Amino acid sequence: MNSLTLTLSLPLQLLSLSLIILSTSSSASPHKIPRLSVLHETIIRDQSYYNTIFSASASSEHLETFFYTQTLDHFNYKPESYATFQQRYVINSKYWGGANENAPIFVYLGAEAAIDGDLSFIGFLPDNAPHFKALQVYIEHRFYGQSIPFMSLEEAVKNESIRGYFNSAQAIADYAEVIIYLKKKLSARDSPVIVVGGSYGGMLASWFRLKYPHIALGALASSAPILYFDDITPENGYYSLATKDFKEVSETCYETIRKSWSEIDRVASNPHGLSILSKKFKTCSHLNNSQELKDYLDTMYAVAAQYDHPPLYPVTQVCGGIDGANEGTDILGRIFAGLVAYRPNRTCYHVDENNFPSETEIGWSWQRCSEMVLPIGRGIDDTMFPPAPFNLTQYIMNCRRLYGVPPRPHWVTTYYGGHDIKLVLHRFASNIIFSNGLRDPYSSGGVLEDLSDTLLAVHTTKGSHCLDILMAKKTDPQWLIKQRKVEVKIIDGWIRKYYADLLALT
């Protein structure tokens, strides 16, 4: 494996501190955007909650792990561009019909995390592989998991010579190389490829189909907010929809949350106010300021809305606790009751849990300080959350301070498009499913109407973030079962038409 001379751009202490600032959910931070992930880490860490939602898990019995010698830089011809790193991918060939049948290949495009979690809770591939006789392939995103060039992620993000290769264009070029390599290795030249992704990975899936239509026959882009860039979507779209979720469940719950922020500040302003708040909310460590508590609650409400999955329906859980508090309970007592209902059986609550950035948060902080600039904010009294308008000037200043370079806020719409999407895409794009659940706040930046006969929007009123591509369960509601069947029927049509075209040409 080749290596590059390391040029550290920031002291480790400064980087760690800055990542804490970037990864916090502080409503005062211009970098604050809700996480784009198929599942939020707090859900994955909460084993009892995770097991309730995902009673079934994918079997690892037929999974084989491989590493592809990947090109560092697909777009330049400098000496360092030819450096390579090992990129992980996983194959499940249990149901594959084989190359002789031109059986399809389903490729899951990894996003801002190691691929391991996806193997346990992404269900669209294993659930549908028997029907399609499909080969299942999962490719890890560069700079995450075991696919980090040359060093640890923390070192790579600090390194000015390395982190420039950490972007979406390089990532989907990686996927193109791996898919072409696999088809050649398996003698599966005529096997159609369907790419699947969720959240940021859903954006990658749709962009992959646009950029590499000769490699992927079609794409399923689940909960992909490709329109949350520039000024296409109102900046308060996310938090307005999260607010709507709570208000629809309970008007009194919504009002209690809306009034709680000023009450937290009022109590904190008293001589022993932070001690009172620490005791009332059973924080594991003493609060340093009221913002810590507000950040924690802010994130809790956003996560509950984004991942309002059945059968638990977290928004209903939170509001059930708030509305079910004993008569006479004050506002903060009701807010705490909502916290306990959502996260029960805790001796204390780690309100500083965002101060210890994970691998995903370290990587995503660079991505959103380079090209993934989603202008998400909220004004005064336009949501149930405290005001936090998006300030691009401040955003750029913070990214300069952290990485020494400014973000490129208009690059995504320049490279992939987004403005006037129906007018543009119906002329040259095809075979993309944009699936959304309308309770997912990120659906405010998603494609919610058909753009053409083959650029299709499939959504459910009660659905949440990436729910359609998660593992199917016997307890799934009928509307979710129907959504998945619609998606499978569309993909079936793509593949049948492909086989007909292949037969006609050969």
What is the full DSSP assignment across 238-274?
HHHHHHHHHHHH-HHHHHHHHHHHHHHHHHHTSTTHH
Residue 207 has pLDDT above 50, yes or no: yes
pLDDT, tens digit, 9 for 90 and up, residues 66-115: 999 999 999 999 999 999 999 999 999 999 999 999 999 999 999 999 99
CA distance 289 to 75: 47
Expressed as residue numbers, the domain containing 224 is 52-230+414-505
Average confidence (pLDDT) over 208-229: 98
Alpha helix ranges (H) inside 457-477: none
How does residue 13 score in pLDDT terms, banded at 50, 70 and 90?
very low
Residues above pLDDT 90, as percent of the chain: 86
Structure tokens at 223: 């909960």
Whether 297 is covered by a domain: the verdict is yes
Query: What average pLDDT does the segment 461-485 reach?
Result: 97
pLDDT band at 56 (very low <50, low <70, confident <90, very high): very low
Residue 39 is predicted with a pLDDT of: 78
| Count of alpha carbons within 13 angstroms of residue 191, beta-carbon side | 30
pTM for the model: 0.92
Kindly state whether residues 212 and 280 are assigned to the same domain. no
134-161 mean pLDDT: 95
Is the pLDDT at 494 greater than 50, yes or no?
Answer: yes
pLDDT confidence of residue 355: 66
- Phi-psi domain of 73 (left: phi exceeds 0; alpha: psi -120 through 50; beta: other): beta
Which phi and psi (to 5°) does residue 305 adopt? -70, -45
pLDDT at 443 over 70: yes
- The better pLDDT of the pair 57, 119 is held by 119
Out of 199, 206, 223, 464, pick the active-site residue.
Answer: 199
Residue 107's CATH number: 3.40.50.1820
Model confidence over 328-365: pLDDT tens digits?
A: 999 999 999 999 999 999 999 999 876 678 899 999 99
Q: Mean pLDDT lowest for which of 45-54, 456-465, 493-502?
A: 45-54
CB proximity list for 474: less than 8 A, separation 6 or greater: none
Residue 8 has a pLDDT of 28
Average pLDDT over residues 25-31: 38
Same domain, 269 and 217: no
CA 107 to CA 141: how far, in whole Å? Answer: 13
How far is Cα 80 from Cα 84, in angstroms, rounded to an integer? Answer: 9
Per-residue pLDDT at 9 exceeds 90: no
Q: What is the pLDDT of residue 41?
A: 65
CA–CA dist 86, 66 (Å, integer): 9
pLDDT at 357: 82
| Residue 200, C-beta contacts closer than 8 angstroms, at least 6 positions apart | 36, 37, 111, 112, 224, 372
Whether 16 is in a domain gets the answer no
pLDDT at 229 (0 to 100):
97
- Same domain? 208 vs 258: no
Which CATH number do you get for residue 313?
1.20.120.980
What is the per-residue pLDDT across 244-294, written as a single tens digit (0 to 9) for each?
999 999 999 999 999 999 999 999 999 999 999 999 999 999 999 999 999
Does any domain span residue 199? yes
Residue ending a domain, among 384, 407, 430, is 407
Residue 428 lies in a domain: yes
Any catalytic annotation for residue 352? Answer: no
Band of the pLDDT at 22, cuts 50, 70, 90? very low
Q: Residue 169's pLDDT band (boundaries 50, 70, 90)? A: very high
31 is catalytic: no
- What is the pLDDT averaged over residues 411-433? 96
- What's the confidence (pLDDT) of residue 38? 83
Q: Tell me if 23 is assigned to some domain.
A: no
Do the domain assignments include residue 79?
Answer: yes
Paired tokens of 253: 């719950």
pLDDT over threshold 60, residue 50: no
Find the range with the poorest average confidence among 41-55, 194-208, 469-483. Answer: 41-55
Overall domain count for the chain: 2
Q: What residues contact 506, with CB distance under 8 A and at least 6 apart?
A: none
Asked whether residue 218 falls in the same domain as residue 317, the answer is no
**What are residue 70's DSSP bridge partners?**
85
* pLDDT band at residue 51 using 50, 70 and 90 as cut-offs: low
Catalytic residue among 118, 298, 308, 440: 440
In a domain, 7, yes or no: no
Residue 240 lies in a domain: no
Q: Are residues 181 and 217 in the same domain?
A: yes
Same domain? 223 vs 269:
no
Examine the domain organization and report whether 176 and 315 are in the same domain: no
Both 299 and 385 in one domain: the answer is yes
Same-domain check for residues 258 and 219: no
Is residue 208 located within the same domain as residue 338?
A: no
Assess whether 59 carries a catalytic annotation.
no
Same domain for 85 and 168, yes or no, is yes
Domain boundary among 386, 407, 428: 407
pLDDT at 384 over 60: yes
What's residue 42's pLDDT?
Answer: 65
- What pLDDT, on the 0 to 100 scale, is given for residue 345? 93
Q: Are residues 155 and 286 in the same domain?
A: no
pLDDT band at 242 (very low <50, low <70, confident <90, very high): very high
